[in-house]
Amino acid sequence: MTTSWEYRYAQRAKGMQSSVIREILKVTSRPDVISLAGGMPAPELFPLEEVEEACVRVLRKVGSNALQYSISEGYIPLREFIVEKMSRYGIVASVDNVLITSGSQQALDLVGKVLLDPGDVIIVEAPTYVGAIQAFTAYQASYASVPLDDQGMMVDLVEEKIIETHPKFIYVLPNFHNPGGVTLSQERRERLVSLARQYGVPLVEDDPYGELRFEGEHIPPIVVIDATRNGDRAAGYFKGDVIYMSTFSKTLAPGLRLGWIVAPVEVLKKLVQAKQGSDLHTGTFSQMVAYEVIADGFLEEHVREIRETYRQRRDAMLAALERYFPEEVTWTRPEGGLFLWVKLPEGMDCQELMEEAIEQKVAFVPGTAFYADGRGRDTLRLTFASCPTEMIDEGIQRLAKAIGRRIRKAA
Amino acid sequence: MTTSWEYRYAQRAKGMQSSVIREILKVTSRPDVISLAGGMPAPELFPLEEVEEACVRVLRKVGSNALQYSISEGYIPLREFIVEKMSRYGIVASVDNVLITSGSQQALDLVGKVLLDPGDVIIVEAPTYVGAIQAFTAYQASYASVPLDDQGMMVDLVEEKIIETHPKFIYVLPNFHNPGGVTLSQERRERLVSLARQYGVPLVEDDPYGELRFEGEHIPPIVVIDATRNGDRAAGYFKGDVIYMSTFSKTLAPGLRLGWIVAPVEVLKKLVQAKQGSDLHTGTFSQMVAYEVIADGFLEEHVREIRETYRQRRDAMLAALERYFPEEVTWTRPEGGLFLWVKLPEGMDCQELMEEAIEQKVAFVPGTAFYADGRGRDTLRLTFASCPTEMIDEGIQRLAKAIGRRIRKAA
């Protein structure tokens, strides 16, 4: 008897879906399509030579330990590096607060695994990061959405949501939001911390792009605002109600799969247990190679170069949007990161536009992918990071043509 | 208000524990302790030069794509290699049946994530692999244990367990069992497949050591026996009720974190969705480097060398056990793999023995770690793989001394 697997799946598996973005990437990998869709960092900036030299040095210096099993918490020198790096942003932590993860996607998964029971509510931004929805939905989370405006999450609406839904945590992406392109203002961060403290709701701060600010003033991470209030910062240790996460995917290379979580020691221990069951530990060799590349100050200079490149590309995209897009269309103006967010004329459907766009040989991500509740039909996400400026101009021109066609069809 | 995190944890997190083995490794990392505890492959056999050359070649040939995001299913040439490799063991699959995982620990985790609802029962061997308990317990599984004897799982007891517990699946480690050191006989494999078919219960076949047979006749994998009955083998495609998993950790290097799952296409799609939410994909660079090392037939020669080394070490351990251990103690005689299993005199407690052993500067893993139900107090696991033969002799001598002391204390 050969049976169907369908009925055997766990409840949680029923909500699992393949990421829309990953599906789109398959469609748009044709060389004649200009893709403004993927969230890929610019590959021409990857430090190929430095990685090659690091591989050789690690294998010769460390020998077989570079290929052996290692501890679940992660390679200690890399965690020390992260502690030092974060201290420059005011985050006071020790190695015991840091867990190396297999990309920040795994950080999201482990937070979900440790905290979420079926039906637990998470307060999220609308739109929010699609990978977070994927990670948390696997643990059968529900969502209470708070809209974004130009200052980030509309924090004034959060208290009502807390009272109404008793959330397990608030998930927030404060810097150069994916997909929104906006940044949470300092005033709102402080208000959010106050609310979280008042109601005892933890904050999960996802900060993959924080270092990629190419304009405007740095705003302290939520975890720093929380710690300062708590007096932890002065005390020199990491406590409180915030789980912070970041990644080397946007500053070094995503193919190494290296992210990290910073959390209070008691939560970190639980996350380490969850990680042991999930994949024992993140690749020993990848961690050592990354550390070897960045140990001597490489990253600072390198991140400056990334910022400068992305700034030019953002400028090219903003100029092209201004030049080619009809005035009914609006967009955000990011001060960093990889993405901007477009609002289409009311009533236009991003899925229908996608079909038109593919005909014009340009791709984007339909906005609906970023809503936990299926909204966002008149929105889309554009990436400026991975396209040379001249292709950005051409891509936006093609997309404008597709939008024009949809407008005429609707008329 | 700073609140305790304890009450926030998900139900599933309450059952999570740190692996006993990983804790022991911390204690036994002192250089004067002979560790027969860890499940580490012999590091002196890791192909350091080949990996170094492969890193350089991959970065020069493939360039930035080696460090970029890649597809969740895994690097296609590596999956093709696995398909070809498995075909030599009679497993007929296509690339669409193969998912690359971050070590076989992640394979276990993804199977649990996709199949297990809280309270679901898994039929396991007693003892069974501690990492599987860790992975499945995170999804709140229950266990129905079937004892091992010299022929592996006592399959005659399985039918009763199926009827009694309606299990979600049967988890079995047929070759050179960890920790048992025994191999499931062909007759029992056939009987197990019959039972699984009769009752519609899937089998999860965990085969990390299958290639490391250094004595006796190869026995076909369960998945092959199942497929042959189903007629799938002739039809040239992979279907049926078995999920098969293996790893490069014991044949190449564990620090690269590379394992794989082979499953029917419909299950594999669901596992891919689960993997996307868990870590997007396994490291691009690690996959490409591993492929570059093994693409041209390296693995066959290399595995022969591993087998020969492990055979010598097993022989040294068996000889030392014979020489030093009191006759009340018995042990298994593995035909492959890394482990053997020791039964202490009745009433002796492996935890108490552990303390005595640490004093004698030798370490093992207490048997209780490998039971889902806390049994196994008079058992322990020894690894012969990662110790030079002369240290094995010395280690067993020390352990015999510790056992002698416990016997005298009990008398």
What's residue A1's pLDDT?
Answer: 44
> Is residue A238's pLDDT more than 80?
no
Question: Would you kindly state where each structural domain of chain B is located, as residue ranges?
Answer: 6-47+300-410, 66-297
Q: How far is CA A271 from the centre of its chain?
A: 19
A330–chain B nearest CA distance, Å: 30
Please tell me the CATH superfamily of domain A10-47+300-410, with its number. Aspartate Aminotransferase, domain 1 (3.90.1150.10)
> Is residue A343's pLDDT more than 80?
yes
Quick check: A239 contacting B, CB < 8 Å?
yes
For range A276-284, the mean pLDDT: 97
Q: Which residue of B has its CA nearest to A22?
A: B71
Listed in sequence order, the DSSP H helices in A280-330 are 284-294, 298-324
The reply to whether residue A168 touches residue B19, judged by beta carbons under 8 angstroms, is no
Give residue-wise pLDDT tens across range A283-310: 999 999 999 999 999 999 999 999 999 9
Measured between beta carbons, the chain A residues lying within 8 angstroms of B239 are 2
Q: Which residue of A has its CA nearest to B139?
A: A113
The reply to whether residue B48 touches residue A68, judged by beta carbons under 8 angstroms, is no
Mutate to test the interface with A, among B69, B111, B130, B134 (most CBs of A within 10 A): B69
The reply to whether residue A255 touches residue B48, judged by beta carbons under 8 angstroms, is no
Residues A77, A78, A80, CA angle at the centre, nearest 5°? 60
Q: Which of A4, A7, A6, A9 is nearest to B240 (CA)?
A: A4
The reply to whether residue A1 touches residue B198, judged by beta carbons under 8 angstroms, is yes
The reply to whether residue A241 touches residue B109, judged by beta carbons under 8 angstroms, is no
Contact B334, B388 (CB under 8 A): no
Confidence of residue B14 (pLDDT cuts 50, 70, 90): confident
B371–chain A nearest CA distance, Å: 16
> Is residue A183's pLDDT more than 80?
yes
The reply to whether residue A105 touches residue B5, judged by beta carbons under 8 angstroms, is no
Quick check: A397 contacting B, CB < 8 Å?
no
Give residue-wise pLDDT tens across range B212-257: 999 999 999 999 999 887 665 444 456 678 999 999 999 999 999 9
Q: Which CATH number fits domain B66-297: 3.40.50.300, 3.40.50.2300, 3.20.20.150, 3.40.640.10?
A: 3.40.640.10
User: What percentage of chain B has pLDDT greater than the value 90?
Assistant: 87
Q: What is the C-alpha to C-alpha distance for residues A230 and A232, in angstroms, rounded to an integer?
A: 5
pTM for the structure as a whole: 0.96
Give residue-wise pLDDT tens across range B119-157: 999 999 999 999 999 999 999 999 999 999 999 999 999
The reply to whether residue A68 touches residue B255, judged by beta carbons under 8 angstroms, is yes
State the CATH class of domain A49-297: alpha beta
Would you state the structure tokens that stand for residue A51, as one six-digit string? 């990685």
Size of interface A-B (CB pairs under 8 A): 279
CATH topology for the B6-47+300-410 domain: Aspartate Aminotransferase, domain 1 (3.90.1150)
- Of the listed ranges A197-211, B237-251, B347-361, the least confidently predicted one is B237-251
Contact A46, B68 (CB under 8 A): yes
What's residue B1's pLDDT?
Answer: 44
> Is residue A126's pLDDT more than 60?
yes
Q: What are phi and psi of A247, to 5 degrees?
A: -160, 155
What's residue B366's pLDDT?
Answer: 94
Measured between beta carbons, the chain B residues lying within 8 angstroms of A16 are 114, 270, 273-274, 277
H or E, element range at A54: helix A48-62
Which ipTM score applies to this complex? 0.96
Measured between beta carbons, the chain B residues lying within 8 angstroms of A265 are none
Q: Which of B84, B77, B142, B36 is nearest to B389 (CA)?
A: B36
B166–chain A nearest CA distance, Å: 12
What's residue A236's pLDDT?
Answer: 43
Quick check: B231 contacting A, CB < 8 Å?
no
How does the average pLDDT of chain B come out, rounded? Answer: 93
Contact A336, A382 (CB under 8 A): no
> Is residue B380's pLDDT more than 50?
yes
The reply to whether residue A9 touches residue B106, judged by beta carbons under 8 angstroms, is no
For range A237-252, the mean pLDDT: 88
The reply to whether residue B277 touches residue A135, judged by beta carbons under 8 angstroms, is yes
Nearest-by-Cβ selection for B273 from A11, A18, A117: A18
What's residue B5's pLDDT?
Answer: 82
Q: B-contacting residues of A 26-55, CB under 8 Å?
A: 38, 40-41, 43-44, 46, 48, 51-52, 55
Confidence of residue A3 (pLDDT cuts 50, 70, 90): low
Give residue-wise pLDDT tens across range B57-102: 999 999 999 999 999 999 999 999 999 999 999 999 999 999 999 9
* DSSP state letter for B66: G
Q: Please tell me the total number of residues recorded for chain B in this structure.
A: 411
Q: Which residue of B has its CA nearest to A23?
A: B71
Q: A-contacting residues of B 71-100, CB under 8 Å?
A: 71-72
Nearest-by-Cβ selection for A279 from B13, B109, B286: B109
What lies within 8 Å, CB to CB, of A374 at 6+ separation is A368
> Is residue A401's pLDDT more than 90?
yes
Quick check: A22 contacting B, CB < 8 Å?
yes
Q: What's the one-letter identity of residue B262?
A: V
The owner of tokens 């560790």 is B35
What's residue B235's pLDDT?
Answer: 44
Q: Which residue of B has its CA nearest to A197?
A: B1
Q: What is the C-alpha to C-alpha distance for residues B178 and B133, in angstroms, rounded to an integer?
A: 12
B284–chain A nearest CA distance, Å: 5
A291–chain B nearest CA distance, Å: 15
The reply to whether residue A69 touches residue B254, judged by beta carbons under 8 angstroms, is yes
How does the average pLDDT of chain A come out, rounded? Answer: 93
Measured between beta carbons, the chain B residues lying within 8 angstroms of A239 are 2
What's residue A239's pLDDT?
Answer: 65
What's residue B182's pLDDT?
Answer: 98
Q: Which residue of B has its CA nearest to A118?
A: B10
Nearest-by-Cβ selection for A8 from B103, B115, B283: B115
